[in-house]
Amino acid sequence: MNAKALILAAGAGTRMKSEKPKVAHEVLGKPLVRWVVDAAHDAGISDVISVLGHMSEKVAPLVESDTQIVIQTQQLGTGDAVNAAREAMTCEDGSIAEGSLVVLSGDCPLITPETISALVAKREQTNAAVVVLTMKMDDPFGYGRIVREGEGDSVARIVEQKDATPEEASINECNAGFYCFDAPALFDALSRITNDNAQGEYYLTDVLEICRNDGRDVLALVTDDAEEAMGVNSRIQLSQASVAMQHRINQRHMAAGVTMWDPSTVWIGPYVKIENDVELLPMTFLMGKTSVGRDSVIGPNTRLTDTVVGRGCRIDETVAEDARLDDRATSGPRAYLRPGTHLCEGAKAGTHVEIKKSTIGAGSKVPHLSYIGDTTMGSGVNIGAGSITCNYDGVSKHATVIGDDVFVGSDSMLVAPVTIGEGAIIGAASCITRDVEADALALERAEQRQIPGWASKHMAKLRDKKAQAQQAKAE
């Protein structure tokens, strides 16, 4: 494809009421401007230019890896923003590079690669000066109106809302804000536009009329889905775009064989990979670079971020970040898998269990009410309820090593650094501070004492004390 893309991302976005630039706000964990950059690349356009302005130092890190950055020093309108890329589009001989230039808005995350490709294809097939993407709106207020010439695809001009006559304001075909230009024609026309309008800005849309007066075709491509052109200028519109993208992503996964009881309660990020025959229950959130293997059931009330889930897993009421669960591992309900957690094949993290930077060996179980941190655990281990690996001494973290087939009794403390040998048994309520040999029983308990008759005498004293206090209060 002989086309370049220009992404306008210089605006302040004052209606966002934010300390960060508008295009850095996220839809499903991905910045607005990245959605547009990625759509251009997915359309087959490798050469992308980003026009930055307001808080450019915060936007640049989002696009600098795969786009060329130019700066609009003053925000004087869309025409001025595109003109900021003139030098980037100029060849060594001083001419503007031949070919198509697609102009996209960095605050419109729902644009698709297919629509971008269609814009380029129509311009190159017709050799038009510009093809503008348009949409039909039930309520066109606020959008630039498309004034057609005749019954064909030809566009006479685009009139902004504040400059429209009552007759022009009644038109329901609107400018979607995406264009494909013949690059030399575009920059020639930009040198001739003025800011003689209600806003005092240089409108990119004025280029269309100049191109027509030069005898070049200006054509429209009507999108079937006006949602693609949804711009994000407020927190309300950000939520609307998020819901629209949620629906689009969920539809794609369901079409590929993923079951969702209620898609409106399932949120999936753009980089998530899910195999078929996965079941996602309500209030499931899959974000970052999470992947889920076939036949796994996720949810309800589960959030996985950058987590790898194998096949046949059951993840119930779990929060996991940067964790790995191998085939047939289970987690929850109400489990917290922190970064570095690895549940090996068939391992279990149960109810009210927190695991951090630890490997739970194949078939090993941490069933309930336990904390495991900085631990390497072998296979076939059973951790009793209420047990803890005490990994922090107040200054540094220390490691615990538990061999295969170890049984740890309930309410045990393993004070790191410590190693428990294979097949050892730790008696319930033990505080283990030294290494335990393989096949040994380790116990650490204070001597149990009994004082006959103590309980009834103690309770009688308490009742007498209470009665005396009540009498004193009454007097």
Cis peptide before 417 (omega within 30 of 0): yes
What residues act catalytically?
A: 368
The Cα 284–Cα 58 span in angstroms is 31
Q: Is 423 annotated as a binding residue?
A: no
Give CATH 3.90.550.10 domain extents, the chain.
Answer: 3-229
What single-letter DSSP state applies at residue 90? B
**For residue 162, what pLDDT is reported?**
86
Whole-number Cα distances in Å, 278 to 38, 187, 292: 27, 51, 8
**For residue 163, what pLDDT is reported?**
86
Burial class (CB in 10 A: 0-12, 13-18, 19+), 355: buried
pTM exceeds cut of 0.85:
yes
Count Cβ neighbours within 10 Å for each residue of 133-159 and write b for 16 or more, e otherwise.
bbbebeebeebbbbbbeeeebebebbb
Residues 71-108 pLDDT 10s: 998 888 899 999 999 999 999 999 999 999 999 999 99
Q: Is 8 annotated as a binding residue?
A: yes
**For residue 160, what pLDDT is reported?**
84
Q: Quick check: 146 and 155 in contact, CB under 8 A?
A: yes
Identify which of 168, 146, 290 has the alpha carbon closest to the alpha carbon of residue 221.
146
**For residue 161, what pLDDT is reported?**
87
Structure tokens that stand for 361 in this block: 């060996």
Specify the CATH number of the domain 3-229: 3.90.550.10
Q: Is 338 annotated as a binding residue?
A: yes
Identify which of 306, 233, 234 has the alpha carbon closest to the alpha carbon of residue 273.
306
3-state secondary structure 316-366: CCEEEECCEECCCCEECCCEEECCCCEECCCCEEEECEEEECCEECCCCEE
What is the second-level CATH architecture of the domain 252-442?
A: 3 Solenoid (2.160)
**For residue 301, what pLDDT is reported?**
98
Q: Quick check: 386 and 392 in contact, CB under 8 A?
A: no
CA 248 to chain CA centroid, nearest Å: 14
Give CATH 2.160.10.10 domain extents, the chain.
Answer: 252-442
Q: Quick check: 359 and 373 in contact, CB under 8 A?
A: no
**For residue 158, what pLDDT is reported?**
87
Residue ranges, the chain, pLDDT below 70: 1
Q: Is 30 annotated as a binding residue?
A: no
The sheet that has 314-315: what strands, in order across it? 259-260, 279-280, 297-298, 314-315, 330-331, 348-351, 365-368, 382-383, 407-408, 425-426, 441-442
